[in-house]
A and B are shown apart, each in its own frame.
Chain A
């Protein structure tokens, strides 16, 4: 079976890398895009260390050409099936690769003091009071997300809201060099309210921006 790593431009040279199954990764080229894959005797164990190793490989690939990371862990039966996927979606992938050239993903986490810090807090309330409290929380989160998104858009080419167990999480698509400016915008927001906290993760390959339609639905 073939373990998939990422989509890249067909003409990009693939660096020599050993994959999760201990074999050298290979390039299956279509006319416009290529799929980076590794032949594996069986699917890799889906655990944390494998997921991190997968990320390292995709990140390495992203440093020499644009990539569309493939969701981990995805396997296809053989090279022929990989070729069929390239024939079916190669043009669409190539358009997206061209749009993402030179861009990376950064993830913003923001919290503020007027929200519960654990699920236990919510369980201690009952009935309508709890529902009102939850509605206020959701409303506050929407307001903060909107405000942060507005500020991030001054730096980011695209912004997506990600699910968050606490506070707000946004994915920002921007050049790697834009990180200091994004930090500055976030710092301005943080200083405008007591108890606010912001963290910035990345830059990473654009996991949240591989496809306009799919990402918007997440």
Chain B
């Protein structure tokens, strides 16, 4: 039985949610973000705005732009509603922040063709949430995603089995998953601009250029993709960062903030039933410029203590200028399912205590909000920041978690 996969992409997600919630915004350019655009609607994009553009520049280009701070819980609620609609079609759904893959393989007798399932899904999503989504249908994740991309926004694209190679041939080489910015640049220097042109390159040449990744590209440019749909959400990274309300050189405030941000990030990883192995810390100085550094832990963890210990160690190594900080952030990568844990001669007792303490804190916070408990170094933030049930009120609220 050949695979059939549906890719659901939420068009301009944050901005679309804001428009769905407030009809007055309907025909106006809307952007969500703080400092830079996290998401902007298609009205704004037509005026030349794009994601990650600094808001100051966006305001100059588009003076009537409506800028909103956004709120993660609201977006999550909308996303969950769409994910539930996907799960009504098939049990095998892989979700991300603003997209989902649904495996349709073996549901033809039940639901009919992939294209008709896609059409139905778009209709129900629009009716129940008011949001536009683009649906792509294909024989692999890659083809489904590219099929959707070719009809964005608010469209439906389906590639019949056997036509994958013909369909992707004329697409720009950078659209091929796994090419990205750096490899795209190398390929374009070699006058390889479309996926069809990439197909003309022999496998050995690609391996010489990109190592083992070359083999993957060799298969992908022929429309072959073997990645499967995994029900578990496996983020590549979980990041939390914020600028300070007032630039600060107070070590306790910075450490408190890193503690708070890392505690939130690691809780997210833990909620997904996963563990992280690598900790990154990023700072920006008040006068501009910044530093970042990362290091892997000896053992993957889902607990706060080892992550904080590493984050503070990294901070010591990057905060070398005697200058106030404007921003601090933590991100966790190398995320994966839990493995056997190497026990420690000296910290076993502590680790076990932290495990049970973490479980207890999670139960309290799940019931009364993250802000219900402030612990450890984050206590230094109490007199410095306002607090709500959700936690401290940061200058840059997180929109992704």
Q: Do A and B come from one complex?
A: no
**Chain B interface residues (CB < 8 Å from chain A):** none
Which residues of A line the B interface, CB within 8 A? Answer: none
